[in-house]
Every structure is written in structure tokens, then in C-alpha cells.
Structure 1
Amino acid sequence: MSSKTVDKALSILDAFTVETPTWGLRELSRQIDMNHTIVHRILTTFEDKGYLYCNPETKKYELGIKFIELNNVVEEHLNISSIIQPIMKEIALKTGESVVLTILDEEEGVFVKIVESEQKVRFAESVGKRSSLYIGASHKVILAYLPLEIQHNIVDEGVAHSAKHIKSKETFLGHLERVKEQGWCYSEGETFDDVAACSVPLFDNKHQILGSLSIAGPKYRLSQEQSEEKLPILQEHVKKLNAILGKVNFPSRRNFLTKKFI
């Protein structure tokens, strides 16, 4: 199998997201700008192997059970749940808010673990959701620790997409500098209108940015002042988490951190 064929196959899988979990053949072909005959051949191969499932009624494709198996392999290998969940659960109980573990993958943040609060009104989001690093505290606190050249590229992307919270590139870069200086980030209404979050960075054993740990909830219950009151709980537990994550080889794509930027 050629590298081009592999690239085409992976671009098809990448199209399946939380926002668009199902695709028809022709709409997927248009979305990724690929000949529908080639797309159909690849989809059929994935379906035969269990990576995709074609709904017989809608004729649309969705991710198959095989990915649940693979997810379990990753979780078992990293032992994520048994190691990290008790810490996140304790934070959720002490703060009364949901706790979110976000990991840096390429130039995006991915929610890999969420422990929901026991409140009736709470932050509830999907594990596996990806977002740009210029949106929300859990992502911006990661962005603040990336090389300046990467920061500029990502902020430029936000400006190009008219992100409402980026007043200007210079102002936003200044905000990231302050986030790095204070070691935490707060945001409200950026990811969802009524949701606020307070986030701290997570690092690997080389002290390179790995991701973030956040508390998130409705902004009427998590104002900036309320977040600052709960911040010590988050900071206390993140030390334990950093100690654990520093010993784990997390399979996220962060090779760009080792590059030399001029």
C-alpha cells in the first residue's frame, strides 16, 4: 500500500468527528475533495475490517466497534482510568465542578478524560472532542507554553476565523504571556455561552507542555472570583498528576516541541 493511499484512508477517518459522526458517500467525497469511487473502495475496506459501519437504512457510514476495542487497548496500556480518575474525582468533589483532562495533540487540544460534577447543572462534554488552542481556558493555558512561532500561527488562525474573544493579535499574545506568568487561565463563554472554566498546565518528564487540567461549570457558579477561590484545590492536585504523567509516555503528537524555531 502506497503512502498516498494511506493518507487518503486516514483523511477519510479524520472526517468522522463529534460534530459530524456520520457521512454519506457523496457528501464525504465532496467534503474531502476525493473521487467518490476511491472513497467508496476505502470505505468498503474499513467496513469489512470493522472500523466503519454502514447503516442499512440511511446508507450513511459511522465509526465501528473496532475503535472501542482500540480505545480500550490505549487505556489499558496507559492505565489512565485507574491512575488519574481518583485524583480527578477528588477535585470534582472538593470544587463541586466537572474536571477535564485535555491533552495536546499536534496543534489542537483533545478531551481525553472527564469526571462530571454531582451538581444537577454541570459541564458535560464528549471525550475525544478536539478544539483549536485559541478557544477556552483548557486550550489557551496549553497555547501559552508553546513556542512563539506556534503561538503566532495559531492566533493567526483564530483571527482568520474571526474568533470573538480575539480583539487583536497583539492583545491576545499579551494575554497568553500573562497566563504563562501566573500559571493558570480563566475563561467564560468561549466554548459555550454559559460555561466557564479554570485551567492549569500539565507537563511531561522533560517539562514540556503535555496538556491541562480544568474545572468547568456554569458561569453563574464559576465566576473568575469563585475560580480563584477554588484554584488552590486544582493546583494542589495537579502536582500529583504531573508526577504521574511525568512517568507515562503519552502517545500524543508533540514532535514540533523538539524543533528549533528561529
Structure 2
Amino acid sequence: MECKNKTVIKSMALLNLFLTKERLSLNEMIELSGMPKTSVYRMVCSLCDMGFLNRDESGMYGLGLLFLQYGQLVSERLDIRKMALPVMENLRDEVDEAVHLIVKQGNEAIYIEKLEGTQMVRLYTAIGRRSPLYAGACARSILTFLPEDERKAYLEETELVPIASGTICDKAELIRVLDMSYKNGYTVSHSELEDYTSAVAAPIFNHQKQAVAGLSIAGFEARFQKDRLPYLVKRVKTAALDISKKLGF
């Protein structure tokens, strides 16, 4: 089924002109694109309003700073995944559980890498899947180490909605867990995103000492009991620190 939006495609064609040209006038964009003047004008105005293009004092257009922001995010995330993967593979082989890598996107966490263990139980998580920052050890490892004002604002504006039987929906309890996780340098979850599963996670820091990702070991809760938990905590903290060092921490 054809579902392409023609305006989006044409707007992308205009942006593609700047792959080889640093600055262009409106007339140059019209000439190079072969599109009607009125159409180009409307699209350029919209692209400027959204930050994809900017217009200088001489009337020339160039790519907006928004692309720099997007490019930085993509670069950071790809670098984190590339640097983290060997460490994740070693961790998976050591503990024989699923290993996840997540990054913050807005007020959510997004899974950018997942390695399965050999256990028969398969978790609901998948690359590209999102979860709220308050639920699950991996996402909460980032929330725990956000700047205090950012974390406070998130807690004030976020409704804690139950996802599984163990999801923390009381803000006072969540704050207590966050404080404990901050003190210990790791966080644990049981049945927060999916019943009968558990996870332990630690934050990954960059060269600016910012928590830019979370690393977790996750699996069936019977394998995350008190006798084995210290071992898993030690392994995930060590692996997260190894990745952090690769990022300049």
C-alpha cells in the first residue's frame, strides 16, 4: 500500500540539496528542485519554523542547528552501542542471562541492544521497544542518576501507571528506591515490566559524568534470588564501568 506523504518527500528533497551546498537562496532551491515557487516557499518557511533550516541576514538558507543536535544524539548512541557490544557479549556469556542496553529518549527509555542468554524463558523486551523511566531496573538506572532538578521535575509531572504486578506506583516508595539505588550504584526490579521476571542494572556514564545509558541483566525471577543476586550485581556494575571507561568516564 502506498502511504508516502508527498509533502514530506518534497521537503526531504529540498534538504538533500544541502548535502552538496552549504548555502542556497530561495531561487536556487526552486531552480535545483524543479518545484513550483509557491510550494518551495511554503516548505522552506515550515522547515525554518521547525529548525531544520535557518535564514541569514543576506537571505541565504542553510541547515539548522537542529541537525547538529540530532547528529550528536545519533553519534552518541551508535558509539555507545558499538563500544558496549563486546562487553555485553562477555557479560552474557558469564551470567547466561539476557543483557540489555538502553538510552534515554525524552521521558522514556529505549532499548538499543539486546543479547539473549540460553535460558528457555524469553523476555518481552526488544530493540526499539520503549519503557517509562520509573519502571524496570534498566530504565531506572538512568532516572536514578539524572541531575536532581531534572529527576524532581520528572517525578512531579509523571503519572506512575502499573505495567506488571510489581510496578512501583507510589511516588514515596519510588523516591526511596531511587535514593537507595543512588547510594548503592545499581538498581534491582522484580515483575515491574513483566510478571515473574527480574533485572539488575547499573548506569553508564560519559566523559562529562552524565548517565547516558543503562546496562541490565534480566531473566526469570527464580534465577535472581538472594543467593545469586550479589554475583549478578557485581558483574553488571563491572561491565557498566568498563563501558563508561570506553566513553571517557
| Both structures adopt the same fold (TM-score exceeding 0.5) | yes
Cα deviation 1:113-159 (Å, max 9, x = unaligned)? 11111222243522111221111001112111113333233334554
Query: SS of the counterpart of 1:102?
Result: strand
| Structure 2 partner of 1:43 | 5
- Compared with structure 1, are the counterparts of its residues 147 and 80 closer, same or farther at alpha carbon in structure 2 (3 Å cutoff)? closer
Cα deviation 1:53-94 (Å, max 9, x = unaligned)? xxxxxxxxxxxxxxxxxxxxx589945565322210110010
Query: SS of the counterpart of 1:220?
Result: helix
Relative to the length of structure 2, the TM-score reads 0.64
Instruction: In structure 1, give the amino acid aligned to 2:126.
Output: S
Return the match for 1:220 from 214, 219, 222.
222
Query: SS of the counterpart of 1:166?
Result: coil
Count of residue correspondences: 187
Q: Which moved more, 1:234-243 or 1:165-174?
A: 165-174
Cα deviation 1:208-260 (Å, max 9, x = unaligned)? 1111110011112223542222222222222221111238xxxxxxxxxxxxx
CA-based RMSD of the aligned residues comes to 3.2
- Compared with structure 1, are the counterparts of its residues 181 and 79 closer, same or farther at alpha carbon in structure 2 (3 Å cutoff)? closer
Instruction: In structure 2, give the amino acid aligned to 1:120.
Output: M
Instruction: In structure 2, give the amino acid aligned to 1:136.
Output: G
Give the C-alpha shift of residue 98 in structure 1: 0.9
Larger of the two Rg values belongs to structure: 2
Which contiguous aligned blocks of 4+ residues in structure 1 show a shift greater than 6 angstroms? none
Q: Is the 8 A contact 1:97 1:122 kept in 2?
A: no
| Structure 1 partner of 2:99 | 99
The separation in 2 between residues aligned to 1:235 and 1:113, in whole angstroms, is: 18
- Compared with structure 1, are the counterparts of its residues 159 and 78 closer, same or farther at alpha carbon in structure 2 (3 Å cutoff)? closer
Q: Is 1:240 paired with 2:245?
A: no
| Structure 2 partner of 1:131 | 131
Q: Which runs of 5+ in 2 are unaligned?
A: 13-73
- Compared with structure 1, are the counterparts of its residues 182 and 126 closer, same or farther at alpha carbon in structure 2 (3 Å cutoff)? same
Q: Which runs of 5+ in 1 are unaligned?
A: 1-23, 25-39, 50-73, 248-262
| Structure 2 partner of 1:84 | 84
Q: Is 1:172 paired with 2:174?
A: yes
The separation in 2 between residues aligned to 1:94 and 1:81, in whole angstroms, is: 19
- Compared with structure 1, are the counterparts of its residues 225 and 172 closer, same or farther at alpha carbon in structure 2 (3 Å cutoff)? farther
